[in-house]
Structure 1
Amino acid sequence: MQSAHVGKHWIGTYENGLGDGATGTLSSKPFRVTQPWAAFLLAAGPFETTRIEIVDAADQKVLLKVSGNDTRKLAGKTNSTETLSPVIVDVRAWQGREILLRVIDEQADSAWGHLNFDDFRFYAQKPVLAGAIEVK
């Protein structure tokens, strides 16, 4: 499988031996939004149940959800792919606040019921990344 992950570490919810049957949530430790822009890499099945959430650490309010369904629509794709695609997020409204990331896979009963996630970074300016989609 070619996912186009960056570096040595990434998250894939298929790669645990259970394939698409595995479900669960992985939450990061809280961290401060230090720049006005963020980007990450995502590939996910075409469901709302395979998603990344950006969450306010103080009140646990979900600030943004990005699902495999969202990325397919925004990119104009019709088929699923393992290849990670860049997602750009304007985080100016949350600058200075503590957030956390949630990697969520609640899709156990179908092909493509998994996601791949990698390389979350902050940027001082809106990043220019080949093939990127911007979510709001």
Structure 2
Amino acid sequence: MRFLNLETLHAILAYSKPRAIIFCPRPLLLMRNLLLLVLLVLPAGATDLIFDTFESDGFGEWLVEGDAFGKAPTAVTPQGVNGKITGYSGQYFVSSAHDGDEPTGSLTSPEFKISQPFLGFLIAGGGHKGKTAVQLLIEDKITFEATGQNDLKMQKVVWPLKDHQGKQARIRIIDTEPGGWGIINADHFVFSDNQKPFFPKPKYRQSKANKDGLVSTDVLPGLTIPEGAVAKLFATNQTLGVYSPTALTVDEKGRVFLAETHRFRFGVEDNRSHLYWLMDDISAQTTDDRIAMHEKWQGKR
């Protein structure tokens, strides 16, 4: 049973048409009867069954082919896209725009039985039919297909599945177009008994400092990490010849980029404590200048 307070009931009655002024010597009885009427006519809530929101660090049971979709859903517009992808739900979405238009590939869901009369999702990208698209394969036949509109803003798409309930199906997100607008983006697949399923708004990632709950790890003495987290060493001097790592980052394809200090990497002596040497080094313009500088300060290290 759905309950309404008097303010909500008043709002419903004020919005209803036609309107009438009612005089009643027993207002409480009238209110109870009206409340019962409202409870009877309000529809029950729609049932939405989430198929996939891509709010994870991988594609799960989806079959990944090619390299266009990277190694996982992304929370940012991939490199190579001229613009910003918007309109997705939650934090993450899938995109074939990794490294731009040229890469191709597909994502295919596990097989499932259609149980709801509607399937909704979000889509953006290229408008190439059969090439940059979201497809619904019912009993291995492409029965529904939607493409982007050569736009980066995700739009809602809802397919009517009432005539196909009980059948086996799969969802395929495909990008076989290496040319212009050869990208497809998709998010939040949801089955519903309502032709207007609910799509959450985007949630932008925010970092939080870990103030407590840190624990030690055997991977590296002295290192503390949040409880439940896992630390792994992936690059050392012994394995990859790393000398002086100063910063690293991970791109949307899972590749790790490491920056090193040039001075330490190539054994350049640190002369920052010798200001006179450093100033001569800055003013040197030619090879002869540098040879003269070396001869001048060689005995004053």
Does the CA contact (< 8 Å) of 2:120 and 2:197 recur in 1?
no
Q: TM-score under structure 2 normalisation?
A: 0.36
- Corresponding residue of 2:125: 44
Residue 128 to residue 55, structure 1, CA distance change in 2 (3 Å): closer
User: Please, which runs of 5 or more residues in structure 1 have no aligned partner?
Assistant: 73-79, 131-136
- 1:10-55, Cα deviation, whole Å (9 max, x unpaired): 21100x3x21111111100011211111111011212111111101
| CA–CA separation in structure 2 for the residues paired with 1:30 and 1:3 | 29
1:5 aligns with one of 88, 92, 109: 88
Residue 186 of structure 2 corresponds to residue 117 of structure 1: yes
- Corresponding residue of 2:174: 104
| CA–CA separation in structure 2 for the residues paired with 1:114 and 1:29 | 22
Question: How many residues in Structure 1 have an aligned counterpart in Structure 2?
Answer: 115
Q: TM-score under structure 1 normalisation?
A: 0.76
Per the TM alignment, residue 129 of structure 1 is displaced from its structure 2 partner at its CA by: 7.1
Q: Structure 1 segments of 4 or more deviating over 4 A? A: none
Does the CA contact (< 8 Å) of 1:28 and 1:101 recur in 2?
yes
- Corresponding residue of 1:62: 142
Residue 66 to residue 91, structure 1, CA distance change in 2 (3 Å): same
Alignment partner of 1:83: what SS?
strand
Taking every aligned residue pair, what percent have the same amino acid on both sides?
Answer: 25
- Corresponding residue of 2:157: 87
Q: What is the one-letter code of the residue matched to 1:31?
A: F
Task: Give the number of the structure whose alpha-carbon radius of gyration is greater.
Answer: 2
Larger fraction in strand: 1
Per the TM alignment, residue 128 of structure 1 is displaced from its structure 2 partner at its CA by: 6.4
Does the CA contact (< 8 Å) of 2:190 and 2:197 recur in 1?
no
Per the TM alignment, residue 95 of structure 1 is displaced from its structure 2 partner at its CA by: 0.8
Larger fraction in helix: 2
User: Please, which runs of 5 or more residues in structure 2 have no aligned partner?
Assistant: 1-83, 200-301
Alignment partner of 1:82: what SS?
strand
Per the TM alignment, residue 125 of structure 1 is displaced from its structure 2 partner at its CA by: 2.1
| CA–CA separation in structure 2 for the residues paired with 1:37 and 1:88 | 7
